[in-house]
């Protein structure tokens, strides 16, 4: 595949892409993996299962979301409210 479009990114975005980029990946491959998988993996939002061990922020967010969802399931709902 040849690049037919160029995009500008900030230095910060390039550093993030460089961190996520695997040895044999192009920048296009990184963006496809991160952005396109975001549309196909509803439970987490980004398909980074294999990368979460190397990405502590993603791991923290995943754990926090799991805890938050468990807590939300324990809250009483309006259907359970029998007052009045």
Task: Please write the tens of the pLDDT for every residue from 27-66.
Answer: 988 888 888 866 655 544 444 444 445 567 777 778 888 8
Share of the chain above pLDDT 90, in %: 15
* Tokens linked to 8: 């500008």
Q: Are 32 and 1 in contact (CB under 8 A)?
A: no
Which residue bears the tokens 């799991």? Answer: 66
pTM of the full structure: 0.41
């Amino acid at each position: 595949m040849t690049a037919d479009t160029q995009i500008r990114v900030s230095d910060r975005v390039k550093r993030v892409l460089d961190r996520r980029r695997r040895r044999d990946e192009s920048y296009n491959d990184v963006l496809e993996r991160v952005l396109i998988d975001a549309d196909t993996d509803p439970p987490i939002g980004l398909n980074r299962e294999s990368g979460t061990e190397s990405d502590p922020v993603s791991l923290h967010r995943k754990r926090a979301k799991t805890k938050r969802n468990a807590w939300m399931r324990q809250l009483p709902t309006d259907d359970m409210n029998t007052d009045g």
